């Protein structure tokens, strides 16, 4: 098996780029004096996570209990489930802890804590809970100055659970695209989360962990005083959304979709390829950013960039490739039927999820299949 014999579409990982991305983030966080806990929802792939841990990561972040189960089975013990838990999933979490997994849960309300406490008491389990802090109004969490913070903390401690720390994710960082704005949102994430920890400590409640992070803020923070660990996920592959945010060059994107030209509409300057939205995902994350890449940026089969060709529209199994500025009347000559191209994705987490496996391209052209799981 080699690159030229692969069926299309296929999800390719450029292993050299991936390893550089892993080293870049780990070295940065080492220099800032904090632990790094990568979010494995991006890859859901054992060899990728093994490379992150080999580089120095301590523990992982997961978005589903299935990720926790799969990576615990692969030998990772220290796991944060970074989504508020549905009460119906507490027995699944209990089974993981009983098997020896050091699984941490999140809560951000009295009602949520009460569910965990009731279940934990009924089953004699002192769950470790991290309180989710809302630093930017983006999604879940308790704001740093919210009066609800202390009652929530007391309810979980009094209920016999363990308060492990506070955790925040400045998801709004994806909306910025200048170094100054990224530094400001990174500092807002840091300061708000540290403030919540200080309020707990001032009230006599232990709060060991201060966990923050997103790929943009992890790469933009000037200092991380008071923070104990950082989380980030998409940095391992990067993508066009992150490129527009300003944290990676397009030639650092480690994930791409291999596709084949299957036809043309020469009058329109279109080449049609066998990768549509099923292969790219429906993610249009660059739509409102400084450059809209459509469904992806077109590169040659060897990964070299070709200029301004994008996948401008996509149906389920058809993608339309066209030049940005003006229709290419010679597109059928430039990309004849059978031409193989690589498309850089808008959002690596979404594109990877369309595949049961990645094809890993080693630095010397060697090819391996890296399974990827999905589901819940």
Residues contributing to the site for its own copies (CB under 8 A): 7-10, 41, 63-64, 83-89, 92, 108-109, 111-112, 115, 134, 137, 139-140, 171, 260-265, 268, 272, 274, 277-279, 281-284, 315-318, 320, 332, 336-338, 347, 349-350, 353-356, 374-376
Cβ distance to its own copies smaller for residue 34 or 241: 241
Give me the least distance between CB of 112 and its own copies, in Å please: 6
User: Is 215 within 8 Å of 235 (Cβ atoms)?
Assistant: yes
For its own copies, give the closer residue by CB, 34 or 279: 279
Could you tell me the smallest distance in angstroms from the CB atom of residue 83 to its own copies?
A: 5
Of 196 and 224, which CB lies nearer to its own copies in the complex structure?
A: 196
Distances (CA, A) of 200 to 139, 145, 147, 194, 242: 22, 11, 11, 10, 34
SS3 32: helix
Supply the minimum distance, in Å, between the C-beta of residue 274 and its own copies: 5
Q: For residues 260 and 207, is the Cβ–Cβ distance under 8 A? A: no
Provide, rounded to whole angstroms, the least separation between the CB of residue 284 and its own copies.
Answer: 7
Provide the 3-class DSSP secondary structure of residue 173: helix
Q: Is the C-alpha dihedral spanning 73, 75, 81, 82 positive or negative? A: negative
Q: For its own copies, which is the closer residue by CB, 30 or 315?
A: 315
Q: Pick the closer one to its own copies by CB: 53 or 152.
A: 152
The minimum distance between CB 214 and its own copies, in angstroms, equals 11
CB of 33 to its own copies, least distance (A): 29
User: CB pairs under 8 A, 24+ apart, for 29-34?
Assistant: 29/218, 29/230, 30/56, 32/221, 32/223, 32/224, 32/230, 33/224, 34/224, 34/227, 34/228, 34/229, 34/230
Smaller CB distance to its own copies: residue 224 or 279?
279
Q: Write down the least CB distance from residue 162 to its own copies, Å.
A: 20
d(CA 127, CA 23): 33
Alpha-carbon gap, residue 358 to 12, rounded angstroms: 6
Q: Tell me how far apart the alpha carbons of residues 202 and 180 are, in angstroms, rounded to a whole number.
A: 32
**Please, which residue, 226 or 266, has the CB nearer to its own copies?**
266
Q: How far is the CB of 278 from its own copies (least distance, A)?
A: 6
Which C-beta is closer to its own copies: that of 224 or that of 238? 238
Helix, strand counts (H, E) of the chain: 12, 17
Show the tokens assigned to 340.
């193989």
Helix axes 15-32, 46-54, angle to 10 degrees: 40
Residue 9 preceded by cis peptide, ω within 30:
yes
């Amino acid at each position: 098996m080699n690159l030229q014999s692969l069926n299309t579409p296929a999800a390719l990982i450029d292993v050299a780029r991936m390893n550089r991305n892993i080293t870049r983030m780990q070295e940065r966080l080492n220099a800032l004096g904090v632990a790094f806990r990568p979010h494995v929802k991006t890859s859901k792939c054992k060899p990728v996570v093994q490379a992150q841990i080999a580089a120095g990561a301590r523990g992982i972040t997961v978005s589903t209990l299935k990720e926790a189960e799969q990576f615990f089975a692969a030998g990772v013990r220290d796991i944060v489930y970074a989504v508020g838990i549905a009460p119906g999933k507490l027995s699944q979490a209990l089974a993981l802890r009983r098997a020896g997994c050091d699984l941490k849960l999140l809560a951000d309300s009295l009602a949520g804590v009460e569910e965990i406490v009731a279940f934990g008491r009924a089953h004699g389990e002192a769950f470790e809970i991290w309180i989710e802090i809302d630093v930017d109004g983006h999604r879940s969490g308790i704001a740093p100055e919210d009066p609800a913070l202390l009652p929530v903390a007391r309810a979980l401690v009094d209920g016999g659970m363990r308060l492990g720390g506070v955790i925040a994710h400045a998801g709004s960082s994806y909306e910025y695209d200048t170094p100054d704005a990224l530094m400001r949102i990174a500092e807002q994430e840091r300061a708000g989360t540290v403030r919540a920890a200080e309020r707990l400590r001032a009230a006599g409640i232990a709060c060991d962990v201060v966990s923050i992070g997103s790929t943009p803020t992890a790469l933009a923070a000037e200092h991380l005083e008071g923070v104990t660990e950082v989380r980030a996920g998409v940095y391992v592959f990067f993508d066009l959304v992150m490129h527009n945010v300003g944290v990676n060059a397009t030639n650092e994107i480690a994930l791409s979709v291999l596709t084949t030209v299957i036809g043309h509409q020469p009058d329109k300057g279109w080449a049609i390829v066998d990768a549509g939205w099923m292969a790219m995902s429906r993610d249009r994350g660059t739509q409102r950013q400084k450059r809209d890449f459509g469904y992806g940026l077109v590169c040659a089969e060897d990964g070299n960039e070709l200029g301004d060709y994008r996948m401008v529209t996509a149906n389920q199994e058809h993608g339309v490739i066209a030049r940005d500025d003006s229709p290419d009347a010679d597109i059928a000559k430039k990309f004849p039927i059978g031409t193989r191209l690589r498309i850089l994705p808008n959002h690596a987490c979404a594109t990877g999820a369309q595949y049961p496996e990645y094809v890993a391209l080693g630095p010397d052209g060697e090819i391996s299949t890296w399974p990827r799981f999905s589901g819940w």
